[in-house]
Structure formats: structure tokens, C-alpha cells
């Protein structure tokens, strides 16, 4: 009887542990629970993004995805590991309130120098019209992700310094804000034609890195968005948009 009672207590403790208490809806999961080897740099939970502050709904820097998306990312990661490469997640599920926050930001009539680093050629009020930010994002369904590649044999120690005046996102990699990843030709969230996946203004090496990422993701059914080398979605993985905030997995 004592053994049975102890087992019952363990089951109750597991049921109320933080990992179980999240109750993620609609088949969502924390990517960290599916594959902890995938690097995460969830920028919208920090001030290191185009808005210069944490965005609504990002209460923690955690990648949340539909479970099928996570399992396919795990498969991509396994293939990349053979080349001593890793995925690095910039954004995953995005609460609908975050999209609304972005819309309000684009219409606030202000544009700082730090913001201009992300859209050097366009006014931020035009970013939605030009297709660089969506008013209804596939990220909110859990089926879209933003990511890049990390060369695990390289020195990735250079860190972002919020006090430093970096060049814009289209500048050479040594001049723009560091991202601890391979040089894709622009920084993440760069609203510029140079960030278009098939842009002709990048170097052959940068083009090879983009091709490597696109091919690895396509192998698991992901489709790239042509205006953003970092954005991929999995057709059929999500339909309805969600608005639950992102919190810690553990």
C-alpha cells in the first residue's frame, strides 16, 4: 500500500509540475522539449529586434511550434549535424497580440536610427504594404518559423551590444549587428531586396549558405518565403491563429 501511495504522489507531482502546467493548446509544443540541440535566439523577447523592445506576448525567449513542425525541425537538425551545422531559431509561434503590436508600431509616426538599421531603403509605414510584415501572420498558427544556420566549427562568440552603433542590416557582416551565425548576406528581419532569398546582390558564398538552408528545410516539406531568406512555413500544419502568450517551458 505504501508503494501505491508513493506512486500516486509522484503522479500528482508530475501533473502539477511547470512543464505540464503550461497546457499548450492545439497540438503546440516547446521545441526545446523535442530537440534541445537546436539553438534558440528568440529576438522578440528581447530589445534586439526591429522594434527595439520586447514585443507583446513574448514573456519568455522560447520557441513554441506545432508538434509536427518541431519533429520535422528535429529531422533537419539531424541532417545538418553531419555537416557540423545547427539550426538557430529567431522566431516560432507568434501570438496574435504581437502582430497587433507590430501594426501599431508601424503606424506610430516615429522612426529612430536603430529602427532604420532594419529597413534602410523603406519607411516602416510601408513594410506591411510591401509584404515584409503581415497583418495576419502564419507564425500565429504555429506553422511558420524564422531561422538561420550556425557553423559549429566557427567562432560565434561575438555578442550584440545595445550601446553600439552598428551599420544597417545590408552592410558587410563585420559592420552589422552580430548574430552568431553564418553570413547570409543580410541580418535577420532585414526589410530590403538584398534579403530576398534569390537576391542577385549577394556573394557566391552567401548564396551557397542560403541554398544550404533552403535545401535542408525543403527536405522536410518546408517552403521558403521569397522575400525573407529566414522565413519558412510547413503547409497544412496550422490554420487558426492563436493568441496565448509565450512563457517558460520549465
Q: Is the pLDDT score of 5 beyond 90?
A: no
Query: Whole-angstrom Cα distance, residue 118 to residue 166?
Result: 11
Q: Is the pLDDT score of 215 beyond 70?
A: yes
Contact 227, 192 (CB under 8 A): no
Percent of the chain with pLDDT over 90: 76
Rounded mean pLDDT of 78-107? 96
CATH 3.30.1380.10 fits 24-233, yes or no: yes
Residue 189 burial by CB count (10 A; 0-12/13-18/19+): exposed, middle or buried?
buried
CA 4 vs. chain centroid, Å, equals 45
Please, which pLDDT band fits residue 249 given cuts at 50, 70 and 90? low
Residue 246 φ/ψ, nearest 5 degrees:
-95, 125
Could you report the per-residue pLDDT of 180-203, keeping only the tens digit for each? 999 999 999 999 999 999 999 999
Q: What torsion do the CA atoms of 6, 12, 18, 24 make, to the nearest 10 degrees?
A: 140
| Predicted local confidence at residue 17, as pLDDT | 36
Q: If we measure between CA atoms, which residue out of 49, 91, 83, 73 comes closest to residue 209? A: 83
Q: If we measure between CA atoms, which residue out of 94, 131, 118, 124 comes closest to residue 106? A: 124
Could you report the per-residue pLDDT of 125-141, keeping only the tens digit for each? 888 788 787 778 899 99
C-alpha cell at 170: 545590408
Please, which pLDDT band fits residue 144 given cuts at 50, 70 and 90? very high
Beta bridge partners, 64, equal 30
Strands 85-91 and 39-40: parallel
HSE-up of 244 (CA within 13 Å, CB side)? 16
Could you report the per-residue pLDDT of 16-54, keeping only the tens digit for each? 334 334 579 889 999 999 999 999 999 999 999 999 999
Q: How far is CA 231 from CA 33, 60, 67, 132, in A?
A: 22, 21, 18, 11
Q: Is the pLDDT score of 55 beyond 80?
A: yes
Q: Is the dihedral of CA 94, 136, 26, 89 positive or negative?
A: negative
Query: Whole-angstrom Cα distance, residue 191 to residue 133?
Result: 9
| Predicted local confidence at residue 2, as pLDDT | 37
Residue 30 φ/ψ, nearest 5 degrees:
-80, 125
Domain residue ranges in the chain: 24-233
Amino acid at each position: 500500500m505504501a508503494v501505491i501511495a508513493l506512486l500516486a504522489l509522484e503522479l500528482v507531482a508530475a501533473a502539477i509540475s511547470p512543464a505540464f502546467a503550461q497546457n499548450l493548446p492545439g497540438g503546440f509544443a516547446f521545441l526545446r522539449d523535442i530537440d534541445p540541440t537546436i539553438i534558440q535566439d528568440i529576438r522578440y523577447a528581447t530589445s534586439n529586434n526591429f522594434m527595439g523592445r520586447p514585443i507583446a506576448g513574448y514573456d519568455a525567449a522560447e520557441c513554441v511550434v506545432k508538434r509536427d513542425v518541431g519533429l520535422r525541425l528535429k529531422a533537419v537538425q539531424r541532417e545538418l549535424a553531419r555537416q557540423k551545422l545547427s539550426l538557430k531559431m529567431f522566431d516560432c509561434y507568434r501570438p496574435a497580440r504581437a502582430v497587433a503590436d507590430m501594426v501599431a508600431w508601424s503606424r506610430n509616426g516615429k522612426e529612430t536610427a536603430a529602427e532604420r538599421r532594419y529597413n534602410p531603403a523603406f519607411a516602416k509605414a510601408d513594410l506591411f504594404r510591401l509584404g515584409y510584415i503581415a497583418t495576419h501572420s502564419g507564425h500565429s498558427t504555429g506553422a511558420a518559423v524564422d531561422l538561420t544556420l550556425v557553423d559549429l566549427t566557427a567562432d560565434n562568440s561575438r555578442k550584440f551590444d545595445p550601446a553600439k552603433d552598428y551599420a544597417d542590416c545590408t552592410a558587410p557582416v563585420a559592420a552589422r549587428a552580430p548574430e552568431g551565425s553564418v553570413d547570409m548576406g543580410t541580418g535577420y528581419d532585414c526589410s530590403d531586396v538584398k534579403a530576398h532569398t534569390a537576391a542577385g546582390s549577394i556573394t557566391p558564398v552567401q548564396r551557397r549558405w542560403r541554398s544550404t538552408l533552403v535545401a535542408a528545410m525543403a527536405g522536410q516539406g518546408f517552403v521558403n518565403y521569397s522575400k525573407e531568406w529566414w522565413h519558412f512555413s510547413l503547409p497544412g500544419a496550422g490554420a487558426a491563429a492563436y493568441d496565448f502568450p509565450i512563457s517558460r517551458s520549465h
